[in-house]
Amino acid sequence: MLKKFSVSNFKNFDKEITLDLSAGRYDFNTHCIKNKIVNTAVIFGYNASGKSNFALALFDIVSSITDYNTLPEKYANYQHIKGSDQPAVFTYEFQFGNSTLSYSYEKQSLNTPIRETVTIDNEEVLRYDRTKDARLFTTLDGAQSLTGDIQNPQLSAVKFVKSNANLNKRTKKNETFLNFIDFVDRMLLFWCLQSRSYIGFDSGTTKLIEDLARNKKLDEYNSFLTEIGLNKNIVVEKNADNSLSAYYDYGEGHRLPYEDTLSNGESALLLFFFWFIKLKNPNRHPSLFFVDEFDAFYHIEVSRKLIDMLSRSSEGQVILTSHNTSIIDNDLLRPDCYYLLDDGSMNSFQNLTGKELRKAHNIERLYRSGAFE
């Protein structure tokens, strides 16, 4: 699990900003917490505070270690304008069982790594610095022969080891390192806006409704819509060229083409469901499920239902960004699950007030009154 993330000199973040997912000591809504780490988090912030940039910073690691989908165009103007001649600095802390892995690196651009360090339980197991002797140092069992320089200037040291070492899976350090690689391989960021772009977890594009139909998930999608209050029945027909056409079926032969009448709200729900069913897949699911502008097109009650679904049925960690203060509710999550990004800093509500927050408190009202500023 992701426990902590820090970044500095990236886009609008000139100074270090940290997301600390350590759980508080609340005894309610414990399903939102796993292994003393927040498993479902919602980040709030004013317009232009940097929520989307923070999401991009957190998912920069996908381009460093994986071959899955990235969006290089979103990483233009990489460094903060005041530090354009200095690297951006990223630090991740992961918890796997009783082991902690920290990964720190510096990059001049999305595909220009400079320095990297991996520590496991405070022991340095990998180090690479292109500004010095440019020789890889590693103590990982099975990677000791990879101690030369890395010829490709765009290749990170971690990805180099991942691709070339035959790591002994039976040692604790290697097991933790491989858990880290697997976690990053399954990280997913997407936007519930008109754009259906995403970062991580997969590659390529697909027609969502056809994908659901071909994977026999269309009935489940119809049930999902009913559960959140949309009583619609979507059907598909196979065309002569083997493609599929989708329709809203109103019964008695009355149908409307699905794509022609799809609203923005349902389009966002379709995208959400497409990824949500992957989150429930026991074989391979997103390790970190990050949705930026989560509920931009949702009614308040729909937002609440989706958060409840995510917090109760997800296999992986969930982080959402939102402007909808109506989802700030101790009946839904708890104070250590809500975060405020403001003036270049990130804090959970529990750390933004000296007041003891209890389940009975109306934390939305407290937020609106400025209690967490």
- The answer to whether 290 and 189 have CB atoms below 8 angstroms apart is yes
Q: Please state, in angstroms and as integers, the Cα–Cα distance from residue 265 to each residue in 42, 273, 299, 328, following that order.
A: 20, 12, 9, 21
25 vs 40: CA distance, rounded Å: 15
Greatest pairwise CA separation for the chain in angstroms = 75
Place of tokens 């933004």: 352
Q: How far apart are CA 269 and CA 341, in angstroms?
A: 26
**Which spans in the chain are helix H?**
51-58, 60-65, 157-164, 172-185, 208-214, 218-227, 258-261, 264-279, 300-313, 363-368
| Chain region(s) in the chain for CATH 3.40.50.300 | 2-201+286-368
137 token code pair: 């140092």
Q: Quick one: residue 256, left, alpha or beta (phi over 0 = left, psi -120 to 50 = alpha)?
A: beta
Bridge partners of residue 90, in order along the sequence:
7, 105
Residues 6 or more apart whose CB falls under 8 angstroms from that of 216 comprise none
Q: Which helix (H) or strand (E) holds 160?
A: helix 157-164
pLDDT at position 194 is: 64
CATH superfamily of 2-201+286-368: P-loop containing nucleotide triphosphate hydrolases (3.40.50.300)
CB 319, CB 43: distance < 8 Å? yes
Helices 264-279 and 218-227 meet at what angle, rounded to 10? 120
**Residue ranges in the chain modelled with pLDDT below 50:** none
Retrieve residue 364's tokens. 């939305």
Choose among 63, 114, 68, 65: nearest CA to 88.
Answer: 114
Amino acid at 334: R
